[in-house]
Amino acid sequence: MSDSLPVVCLALFAFLLLRECSAAEYKPVAGHLMTRWAQDVTPDNVLPEYPRPQLVREQWQNLNGLWEYAVSAREAAQPALMPDKILVPFCIESALSGVKRPLTAEECLWYRRTFKAPDLTGGQVLLLHFGAVDWQAKVMVNGTLVGQHKGGYDPFTCDITAAVKPDADNELIVAVLDATGGWQPRGKQKIETIATPKGIRYTPCSGIWQTVWLEAVPAARVETVRIVPNAIDGTVVVTVQATGGLPAGRPVTLSVLESGTLVATAKTTAGQPVTLTIPAARLWSPEQPFLYDLRVEYGSDVVNSYFGMRTIAVGKDDKGVTRILLNNKVIFQAGFLDQGYWPDGIYTAPTDAALRYDIEMTKKFGMNMARKHVKVEPDRWYYWCDKLGLLVWQDMPSAGPGPGAVGSGAGRNKQTGEMADGVAVSPAGNEQFQAELKAMVEGLGNHPSIVMWIVFNEGWGQYDTPRLTQWVKGLDPSRLVNNASGGHDIPAGDIMDAHLYPGPFAPKPTDGRAAVCGEFGGLGLPIPGHTWVQKTWGYSGVTNSKELTDRYLELIQRAYQLRDTEALCALVYTQTTDVETECNGAVTYDREVLKLDIEKAAAANRGIFPPMP
């Protein structure tokens, strides 16, 4: 034992020295608004949580941390040297990346790192996963092209088995292009706001912005698990897709657990849906967000997932009025417009605790819903919504508006007053928009918190509205589909959605569609020392927290009156937090100051108001 002690001490010293060197190489870009969680971010502690809670395997390797990077001309060859460092997975425009610079349409962003491949036994393959890269990525391992992807919001995977070398350093290169314009789905990203912050567009996100990780898996393995619960009849339909060439008919074994106790099991084959009955099913709701565990076994591959017993629909209340029904009961949804931006990480929350904080605060403010606005979050954001009990309306990130948008021409004819739909401006734009829309719906489809898909925000790039709305409904009949939140209402889907600032407003429901106010409010109050820049704005300004709270209560009470008089089914107040120059939030951009009186606001959001004087 005494002979091994110096070796152990030397290894420990080397490890600590490496950590010190990594820390010395990295620091966030100073002089910018930061959140309290930024201080917890270090090169060896960057979003260490397993990034895919809906499909969990025990063995994985996180590749987050300091990578080398370089920026070249768009068409230039790979740089021979990449002397600078960037902290993955924070976009290059963020302070937490350690870089904070824009990436233009004429440039290419290069990443490089090395990694040791895990031992592959029993015919295993090695998968390289990217949570999201904005926007176009090319991936190479040891000089071999292993994958390419377009789309800034959906995950993708590369099989790198043939490219890796055992017991050696493997080189990983990622090349990224991001025009942040044209028909590219991008939400509210706009490169000009870096130099001139203003309006309702914000700093863009370019490059790797979600976790990168390795996973050694059996060649014959589970590819996807589709889970569709039915709270009305207490059943859940599960479809497992597999890959890897096991003999036809090889069984898939499913086990459902309630708080660790087996309550249902079934065998099926890959690609074949199977229905499991859940005895005395415990339903999922914002008040009681109970989750069942699901274990899936296919050959030697074992994955763990979960689901909530929840059904969402449009139906009639006891007075024959069209309402939204959760688990066959009328629910009035009250939520914030949630942009998902961070002053230090831009698209990426500094830590998992920060990601969870916004959801917890939304609940504490008395809300039961959030509208995720023209952005798709990392999977763990939806996991926390599932676990904590927050309904989600999920927007498709918009492609447009403006010249080159994916669609154009939607709107009311000034001469005739007739509403006209837009048209796709190019086959390529339509194809990419649909590919990313499908990836969003299918990729997030197991989260019980998500109850609505929103195809378009307002008229931004709106086109082929009935076709795309019906297409999404075909992809996922189990959820509500909103054709265009606050946009040009080309009748389709389950929802009629109006925006009005300050508002609120209730559209007149027709054709069995439920009426909602998808945006209103926007009361602006800047808090000195907690703003992105000195010049800020709001849709309607106030001077202090008391005035903000008083006016907020008036708006929310008006929305509840519209519930009773005009069949309004939901309200969405703008917004959760301030975002860059917008100071419309209930909370400051750095998440340090609650601008509303939280007790009064929470009561109002639940429909409880002080007696009239």
Classify domain 331-400+425-605 at the CATH class level: alpha beta
Chain region(s) in the chain for CATH 3.20.20.80: 331-400+425-605
- What pLDDT, on the 0 to 100 scale, is given for residue 24? 60
In whole angstroms, what is the distance from residue 579 CA to residue 340 CA? 9
The residue type found at 503 is: G
In whole angstroms, what is the distance from residue 608 CA to residue 613 CA? 15
- What pLDDT, on the 0 to 100 scale, is given for residue 400? 72
In whole angstroms, what is the distance from residue 204 CA to residue 190 CA? 5
Q: Which sign, positive or negative, has the C-alpha torsion 131, 137, 141, 147?
A: positive
Q: Indicate the SS3 state at residue 38.
A: helix
CATH topology of domain 221-299: Immunoglobulin-like (2.60.40)
Pick the residue with more confidence: 459 or 101? 101
Q: Are the beta carbons of 581 and 537 closer than 8 angstroms?
A: yes
Q: Are the beta carbons of 522 and 502 closer than 8 angstroms?
A: yes
Q: What is the mean predicted confidence (pLDDT) over 63-68? A: 98
Q: Which sign, positive or negative, has the C-alpha torsion 557, 560, 565, 571?
A: positive
**DSSP structure string for 389-424:** T-EEEEEPPP--SSTT-SEE--EE-TTT--EE--EE
Q: Among 56-65, 248-257, 315-324, 579-588, where is mean pLDDT lowest?
A: 248-257
In whole angstroms, what is the distance from residue 54 CA to residue 228 CA? 13
Q: Are the beta carbons of 125 and 240 closer than 8 angstroms?
A: no
- Structurally, at CATH architecture level, domain 24-217 sits in Sandwich (2.60)
Q: Are the beta carbons of 584 and 524 closer than 8 angstroms?
A: yes
Q: In what order do the strands lie in the sheet with 495-500?
A: 480-485, 450-457, 391-395, 369-372, 333-338, 568-574, 514-521, 495-500
DSSP state for residue 157 in the 8-state scheme = E
Any idea of the CA torsion for 368, 373, 376, 381, to the nearest 10 degrees? -30
In whole angstroms, what is the distance from residue 171 CA to residue 164 CA? 9
Q: What is the mean predicted confidence (pLDDT) over 587-595? A: 98
- The band of 610, judged by pLDDT with boundaries at 50, 70 and 90, is confident
Quote the pTM value: 0.95
Q: Count other C-beta atoms under 10 Å from residue 9's C-beta.
A: 10
pLDDT in tens, 351-386: 999 999 999 999 999 999 999 999 999 999 999 999
Chain region(s) in the chain for CATH 2.60.40.10: 221-299
pLDDT in tens, 122-132: 999 999 999 99
